[in-house]
Structure 1
Amino acid sequence: MKELFSWGKTIVFSLAIFIVISIFVFQPYTVNGSSMEPTFIGTDPYDEEQKGDRVFVSKSSYKLFGEPKAGDIIVIDSRTYKPRTLVDELKEHPLVAIFKESPDNYKWIKRVIGEPGDRLELKQGTLYRNGEELNEDYIFEGMDGSFEAITVPEDHVFVLGDNRNHSGDSRMIGTIPYENIVGKVMVRYFPFNKLNLF
């Protein structure tokens, strides 16, 4: 009985450590949809064999090591009208997610294009930041359309998907408050042949 109690304490302690780490430090994330192709391949609901890239998201990078920079790949909470709370973190925990019927579709993976104070403009398919044309060798294809110049507010970022013509992003929901950044993508760990640091 004493040994069983000891094992129980170890399991509870291990679970507690796992919960704390995944809420405040690192959390796995599965890419869904096609908005970040070709950088990331997302789960395809119509193709059971396409499971989607898996990444680890650092939830402490910006809290400890500075602010988001242009080019960073981040996971955001697209509900920009709603500040994130500890309750959100608990609801999204992998142990809780096991019991959910559907994934959290409000969490999106995107690329930071504009930092606070940056002026962004899309003219005839070409994106400009502070008057300079961006050289974006990571995008899937040229971007259709245009949008009026926007200056990114303080404590916000402007994000786009790499698959520009098939992405919901800041063109739709506006700039992203820092508090709605879930974390920074640090590593792709699956599929194993695409292991990569970001």
Structure 2
Amino acid sequence: MKQNVGDYSFEYKKRQQVKFMHAVVFFVSVFVFISIFLNCILFSVFVNSSSMETDICRGGIVFVSPFMRNPSRGQVVYLSRIDGQGVSAGKRLVNTAVSFFSLYKFTPFGRNSRMTGNDSIRRVVALPGDSYYMKDFVLYVKPAGQPHFLTEFELSARPYNISIYSVPVEWDGMGCSGQIPETTLGKDEYFVLADNRIEGLDSRIYGVISSSRIKGRVLCQVFPFGKAKLF
């Protein structure tokens, strides 16, 4: 039986439409999977400040696990913005798409002032119930129930570096203080510090944080490749 041109054209268009729909479903499925993975399992963060140098460099990319929200002393965490303003589900979806295609260097929503409008990466140095004081930019901690103060480095399970340098005399009174009197943390209070103790904004400026502000634990730095490391 001879097939006319109209029948052939119809079948061809139908097959093309099916292929197009399969392609759309595939790309949507991949995008949804990536979005769920990045938001719920493991997501990357582009570091756009020098507050955690030298261990985490400016311009680097780190991976964060949102499942790990109960940090130990010395661990690095990803914190929500200080002003408490959230981002809607729709904007988070747009942020995920834009950050993915911009290699995690740009998100259109959720950024405002430098101090309060950005999420940040900081190191947890004292836990609920701990007593602490700071001398010459080094934190001394007496864990809850313990009799003696130890340096932050002695209590950390992994070694880390901090950045301290001399500042001009005319800077006296500016920036973060290197001295803090003895204080005891209450329930669900964490004291966090930037590794760059001179320039970084941390609990010395905005006070202790609660666990609700911890969005996840920083597991590793993957870029630049020469400075890749685990935390």
Give the TM-score taking structure 1 as reference length.
0.80
Q: Give 1 or 2: higher strand fraction.
A: 1
Residue of structure 2 in register with 1:3 after alignment: 19
Give the Cα–Cα distance (whole angstroms) in 2 for the partners of residues 89 and 120 of structure 1: 39
Counterparts in 2 of 1:1-198, with a 5 A limit? 1-42=17-58, 52-62=59-69, 67-79=70-82, 82=84, 87=89, 90=92, 93-97=95-99, 100=108, 103=111, 105-130=117-142, 131-134=148-151, 136=153, 138-141=161-164, 145-198=178-231
- The Cα shift of 1:29 comes to 0.5
The verdict on how the C-alpha distance between 1:75 and 1:84 changes in structure 2, with shifts beyond 3 A counting, is same
Q: Which runs of 5+ in 2 are unaligned?
A: 1-16, 100-105, 143-147, 154-159, 166-175
Q: Is the 8 A contact 1:119 1:152 kept in 2?
A: yes
Give the TM-score taking structure 2 as reference length.
0.70
Question: CA offsets per residue over residues 138-157 of structure 1, 9 Å max, x none?
Answer: 11127953112222222231
Q: Is the 8 A contact 2:75 2:217 kept in 1?
A: yes
Amino acid at match of 2:43: Q
Report the more deviating stretch, 95-104 or 131-140.
95-104
Residue of structure 2 in register with 1:47 after alignment: none
Q: Percent identity?
A: 26
Q: Is the 8 A contact 1:90 1:96 kept in 2?
A: no
- The Cα shift of 1:126 comes to 4.1
The verdict on how the C-alpha distance between 1:179 and 1:84 changes in structure 2, with shifts beyond 3 A counting, is farther
Question: CA offsets per residue over residues 10-43 of structure 1, 9 Å max, x none?
Answer: 111111111111111111111122211111111x
The verdict on how the C-alpha distance between 1:14 and 1:36 changes in structure 2, with shifts beyond 3 A counting, is same
Q: How many residues align?
A: 184
Q: Is the 8 A contact 2:87 2:110 kept in 1?
A: no
Give the Cα–Cα distance (whole angstroms) in 2 for the partners of residues 89 and 57 of structure 1: 20
Alpha-carbon RMSD: 2.7
- The Cα shift of 1:115 comes to 0.9
